[in-house]
């Protein structure tokens, strides 16, 4: 297979991988239609009807570029969080913003601290810019704040990543502990505090909006992909000091946001009642997933997210067999990728019909394996 001859040495050294194998790819590869899409932490409950109407109306203006300054959505987010517009950067989902942050901070060989088994897309960006990943194992299925802090200090790392609540385990730390961790970091280390699941977290988990806003070395990440039901729209944002936030303007794609996506996000922010309804439905779905797991002799882990990690009580081989077995029934789920987390499977909150299929298929799969 012929390849262009002048890619950079770094690019040539990297594997051509996709951090997540999507359900569409699984359908193509295996020829199995997905009947219950409960593996990608999307919201099967969908967006607010107000959002759907706004998107339909906005389609007529799709010939226009979106505002490169993202003024409208930054202003709306400032009102929503009680902050200022200049404290927000908008991007094509948190994933795009993570790439920009790594590009701003990391040069080849510099250490980056994260949790072993944490969000793989962040690692993908670090590798793509030549950073050196320094990973800290989970402790009791939670990210180890003391271990992360020690690694940052030991390595003199300029960048660290913490998700709270956490993906893939659904675990969490209190806001008090997260604030203490952030303030204990050297000011030469930029903390990415990923709060993608902030809307589904219980009280006392997410620090107040202004709790860390004085720290120029903290960027808090939020998204419309989870509780708001807009994963396909790709709208994420970072919260930080105006000085740190302004750095994004040096390298971001100023016309990167789809006009319709911004319209949808604005409409979603306005419909607070719908968000409350969806968060309640997610909590109900988590409870049902936990009950299904327990009824089949598995152990659901406590979750502050829109998914439940389920301990299968064996090893990664067994967990993978459960994932593959469920796919044979058209039920798409995922699992963590690193031991000891990969003894678990991960099931996203879904519609009652989705969970009906899970409830029917899981005992059949487990019976075949046991």
Instruction: Examine the pLDDT at 1 and tell me if it is beyond 80.
Output: no
User: What pLDDT is attached to residue 51?
Assistant: 98
CA separation for the pair 211, 207 (Å, rounded): 6
| Alpha helices, H only, 296-347 | 316-328
**Interval 323-361: pLDDT, tens:** 999 999 999 999 999 999 999 999 999 999 999 999 999
At 249, the pLDDT band (50, 70, 90 cuts) reads very high
Instruction: Kindly report the number of other CB atoms within 10 A of residue 233's CB atom.
Output: 24
Average predicted confidence (pLDDT) for the chain: 97
pLDDT tens-digit profile of 137-146?
Answer: 999 999 999 9
- pLDDT range class, residue 269, cuts 50, 70, 90: very high
pLDDT band for position 370 (cuts 50, 70, 90): confident
CA distances from 275 to 88, 115, 170, 282 (A): 21, 30, 20, 10
Which tens digit of pLDDT belongs to each residue from 14-69? 998 877 888 898 889 888 899 999 999 999 999 999 999 999 999 999 999 999 99
Higher pLDDT, 2 or 154: 154
- Structural domains in the chain, sorted by start: 9-46+273-369 (3.90.1150.10), 60-271 (3.40.640.10)
Flag whether pLDDT at 293 surpasses 80. Answer: yes
């Amino acid at each position: 297979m012929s390849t262009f001859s002048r890619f950079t040495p770094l690019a040539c050294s990297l594997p051509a991988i996709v951090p997540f194998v999507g359900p569409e790819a699984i359908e193509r590869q295996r020829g199995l239609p997905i009947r219950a899409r409960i593996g990608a932490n999307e919201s099967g409950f969908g967006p607010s009807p107000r959002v759907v109407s706004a998107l339909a109306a906005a389609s007529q203006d799709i010939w226009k570029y979106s505002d490169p300054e993202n003024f409208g959505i930054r202003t709306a987010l400032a009102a929503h969080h009680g902050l200022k517009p200049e404290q927000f950067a908008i991007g094509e989902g948190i994933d795009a913003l993570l790439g920009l942050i790594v590009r701003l901070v990391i040069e080849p060989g510099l250490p980056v601290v994260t949790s072993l088994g944490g969000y793989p897309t962040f690692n993908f960006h670090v590798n793509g810019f030549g950073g050196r990943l320094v990973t800290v194992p989970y402790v009791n299925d939670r990210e180890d704040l003391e271990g992360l802090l020690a690694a940052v200090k030991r390595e003199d790392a300029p960048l660290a990543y913490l998700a709270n609540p956490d993906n893939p385990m659904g675990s969490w730390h209190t806001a008090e502990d997260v604030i203490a961790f952030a303030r204990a970091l050297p000011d030469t280390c930029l903390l990415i505090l990923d709060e993608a699941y902030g809307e589904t977290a219980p009280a006392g988990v997410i620090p107040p909006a202004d709790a860390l806003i004085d720290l120029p070395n903290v960027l808090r990440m939020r998204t419309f992909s989870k509780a708001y039901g807009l994963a396909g729209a790709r709208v994420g944002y970072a919260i930080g000091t105006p000085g740190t936030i302004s750095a994004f303007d040096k390298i971001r794609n100023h016309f990167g946001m789809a006009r319709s996506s911004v319209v949808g996000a604005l409409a979603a922010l306005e419909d607070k009642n719908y968000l409350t309804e969806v968060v309640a439905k997610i909590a109900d779905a988590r409870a049902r997933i936990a009950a299904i797991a327990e009824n089949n002799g598995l152990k659901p882990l406590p979750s502050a997210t829109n998914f439940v990690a389920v301990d299968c009580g064996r090893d990664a081989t067994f967990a993978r067999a459960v994932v593959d077995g469920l796919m044979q029934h058209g039920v798409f789920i995922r699992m963590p990728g690193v031991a000891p987390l990969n003894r678990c499977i991960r099931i996203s909150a879904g519609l009652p019909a989705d969970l009906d299929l899970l409830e029917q298929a899981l005992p059949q799969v487990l019976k075949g394996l046991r």
